[in-house]
Amino acid sequence: MNRLKINIFAFPKLTTALFWLAISALFLVIWMSLSPHLLFYVWPTITVLVILSIREFIMQPERNIHRFKFIPIGDNFPLLQKVVNEKARQLGLKRIPKLLLGEKQNTFYRMGSFRRWYIVVSSEKASLLETQLSNPEKAVLADLQILSVLYPFTASEYWMVGYLAILLKVTFYLVLWGAVFFVGWALLLILIKDSLVYLSSPDLITKVSSEMRPIWEQLSPLSNEFELLKVNDSTTLYFLLSIINIIVPCIALISFLWIFYYPIMLCIQQYYSDAGIAQTLKSTASFWTFFQYAQKLPSIVDLESRRSSFNRLQEWLQNILMGSFFPNAAERLNAIQNPDQVFYQWKQIARFLGTSALLLDMLFYLSGYLMYLANFTTMSIVIVIIFWSLPQIVMKKDVWKDCVIILAAIFGLRTTLAAFVLTILWGIYTVKPSFFEELITVQLYASARYAGTNIPTIIINGTDFLMASFLLNLQQMFLLFVASICFVMAYILLSTRALQWYGFFTTRYRFNIFNMIVIGVFIGLLLTFLILPEFGSGIFAIVGYLTLIVCGVLWIVFMDKRYYKKCPVCKSRIADIQKFDVTCANCQAKVLPWLVAQYETE
């Protein structure tokens, strides 16, 4: 049956977008954590992080080979090797993965780095696959399993998903190392500060032998060298809180990305893989055959090998808030039949984004950088909504209302949380004003990474402070909500119109580039105006933005005039059609053919 299905590869890759969002979030939090006084360490930290993570990613296959004692398959299982080679060529892979024999039963998964790819298979599984391959009736089962293992190598998200997992792990360890090392280093400096001054004192010099005395007399006190040596008993608490303020946002973000974000990427990668295999085979028949035979489907991740206690914790936490960790066979079959399901329904989107934003807000309330991070969270929400709305726009669905509901739900939750925290602060202030003032003072010093002895006196008027906090926070939330609505609406309007530039979007690459430019402009504006406010001011910036906006509008008008509703073949006008597979009534040419998935469904 050849039902009309949307081609999910026609849109910018969700996994790619999620990968870059995660990377940006991670580096932004590192930057925020180390600013303003430790900004010198930002680039060294990021450089070390990048080198270590790439190195670990490249080394991962070797570690596994060494750890699990995988051996090359050699001349064993020639039929399996032959079929793997054939399928790799069929998929157009740049290189053929090497087959390795694993000891664990029923193992069949892929691993690799950028330029070295492996497939690990146990002897039992290899025997079973060979048996299936030699039986024409069951060969389709083995084919599907081999394609499932090979397909992720075709796209760049293969290394993105793998690299993100390694990056999160490396960042976690680096933060832990930094915490233990620098706490030790700082405590040592605090401990020895008196001794460094005492080093040149006359008491010690008298004990030194006469030959060495001139050398010691020349030693100058080292106390001026270190800012930390200024720490005294009353500021040690601020200093320790500063370190907590650096560590907590990093750990919070890594936990969030690992528990909620990474599994979502895996799920989406699975959907892409299924759709890709269906397009390669031009049919979904093998999925149904496999399902009827095994009551499950081969997956891109070896779920059995992920049963470590940490993975179970990840799965358990995700189950609480997000539903099942990995799509089951029925969900995957449904997604192959209806590819637009890959982008989820709006309720799922609202729940995912709302939960994520709420969690991040709660965790970042612990640090002093909520304002910047709230902006970043908003940017991420808008980008995810755009990615979700794009297929809906293509399928001529009315997404305006859904987008408004999603954004209202998210910002409603975030505003409630902000109001809740501020109400608690009001309560504390009403019951015990002195404690409130102490609390705020400590947080202010800690946020400022202040550890010196010359503490500027901060006089806090509780009522004014709380009123200002209420107004600023709620005002910020409202402004972000309005800005998000405006941008999403503008995007929907532009995309709906641009999708009818039939003569221009002759390939999916043009469509992808167009969307990436629009999203890039949005990110650029948001970064400039919100995250880096110092770059947003000045006459040059305003002139620059105005020029950019005028050029953009002129370009859109020009494109609209030239391509709107015009057939790319006969240039005649195409009438309004409520479907995404548009055909020219004049020349019968298929317009935007890349929007339609080319495979048959059961």
Partner 1 sequence: MKLNNKRTSHTITKLSLAFLILFSISVILLGLANPVLDERGSILFLSAFFCTGMPLLFLSATWLAYINRIYFSNIFVWIIFQLFFILIMIGNYYAPLSISLLFTTFLFVLFPLLIIVNFIYSYSNYASLKFIGFGSIGFIWVILIGWLFYGNLIEKMVLALTISNSNHNDLWIMHALMTITACIVIGGIASFFTETIKIFLLEWQEKDHT
Binding site for partner 1 (CB under 8 A): 51-52, 55, 58-59, 62-63, 65-66, 95, 113-116, 173, 177, 180-181, 184-185, 187-188, 191-192, 195-196, 198-199, 204, 207-209, 212, 216
C-beta of 189 vs 527, nearer to partner 1:
189
Report in angstroms how near the CB of residue 569 gets to partner 1 at its nearest.
Answer: 44
Report in angstroms how near the CB of residue 51 gets to partner 1 at its nearest.
Answer: 7
Report in angstroms how near the CB of residue 308 gets to partner 1 at its nearest.
Answer: 20
Point out which residues pair with 582 in neighbouring strands: 591
CA distance 451 to 227: 8
Report in angstroms how near the CB of residue 293 gets to partner 1 at its nearest.
Answer: 36
Amino acid at 163: Y
DSSP 340-391: GGGG--HHHHHHHHHHHHHHHHHHHTTSS-HHHHHHHHHHHHHHHHHHHHHH
C-beta of 51 vs 371, nearer to partner 1:
51
Report in angstroms how near the CB of residue 88 gets to partner 1 at its nearest.
Answer: 15
Give the helix/strand (H/E) hosting 514. Answer: helix 508-526
Contact 186, 239 (CB under 8 A): yes
C-beta of 72 vs 538, nearer to partner 1:
72
Distances in Å between the alpha carbon of 446 and those of 33, 304, 434, 457?
12, 45, 18, 14
Report in angstroms how near the CB of residue 487 gets to partner 1 at its nearest.
Answer: 41
C-beta of 131 vs 201, nearer to partner 1:
201
Report in angstroms how near the CB of residue 112 gets to partner 1 at its nearest.
Answer: 11
C-beta of 95 vs 296, nearer to partner 1:
95
- The closest alpha carbon to 264, from 167, 390, 355, belongs to 355
Report in angstroms how near the CB of residue 101 gets to partner 1 at its nearest.
Answer: 15
Report in angstroms how near the CB of residue 491 gets to partner 1 at its nearest.
Answer: 40
C-beta of 62 vs 438, nearer to partner 1:
62
Report in angstroms how near the CB of residue 313 gets to partner 1 at its nearest.
Answer: 24
- Alpha helices, H only, 199-328: 202-207, 213-218, 236-256, 262-281, 285-294, 309-322
Report in angstroms how near the CB of residue 179 gets to partner 1 at its nearest.
Answer: 10
- The closest alpha carbon to 181, from 246, 258, 255, 254, belongs to 246
* Residue 72: how many other CB atoms lie within 10 Å: 12
Name the 3-class secondary structure at 22: helix
Please calculate the CA angle 276-282-284 and round it to the nearest 5 degrees.
Answer: 75
Report in angstroms how near the CB of residue 120 gets to partner 1 at its nearest.
Answer: 14
C-beta of 199 vs 285, nearer to partner 1:
199
CA distance 202 to 181: 33
Name the 3-class secondary structure at 211: coil
C-beta of 178 vs 536, nearer to partner 1:
178
The DSSP bridge pattern shows strands 98-102 and 108-112 to be unpaired
C-beta of 63 vs 296, nearer to partner 1:
63
Contact 85, 121 (CB under 8 A): no
Distances in Å between the alpha carbon of 559 and those of 247, 394, 502, 521, 546?
49, 19, 11, 18, 20
C-beta of 180 vs 458, nearer to partner 1:
180
C-beta of 66 vs 579, nearer to partner 1:
66
516's tokens = 């990436």
C-beta of 13 vs 193, nearer to partner 1:
193
Query: Helix/strand/coil (H, E, C) string of 285-313?
Result: HHHHHHHHHHCCCCCCCCHHHHCCHHHHH
Contact 589, 569 (CB under 8 A): yes
- The closest alpha carbon to 115, from 71, 54, 67, belongs to 54
CA distance 445 to 464: 19
C-beta of 67 vs 401, nearer to partner 1:
67
The DSSP bridge pattern shows strands 590-591 and 582-583 to be antiparallel
Mark residue 143 as left, alpha or beta (left: phi above 0; alpha: psi -120 to 50; beta: remaining): alpha
The DSSP bridge pattern shows strands 98-102 and 117-122 to be parallel
Contact 305, 339 (CB under 8 A): no
Report in angstroms how near the CB of residue 501 gets to partner 1 at its nearest.
Answer: 42
Report in angstroms how near the CB of residue 121 gets to partner 1 at its nearest.
Answer: 17
Residue identified by tokens 């084919």 is 143
C-beta of 61 vs 327, nearer to partner 1:
61
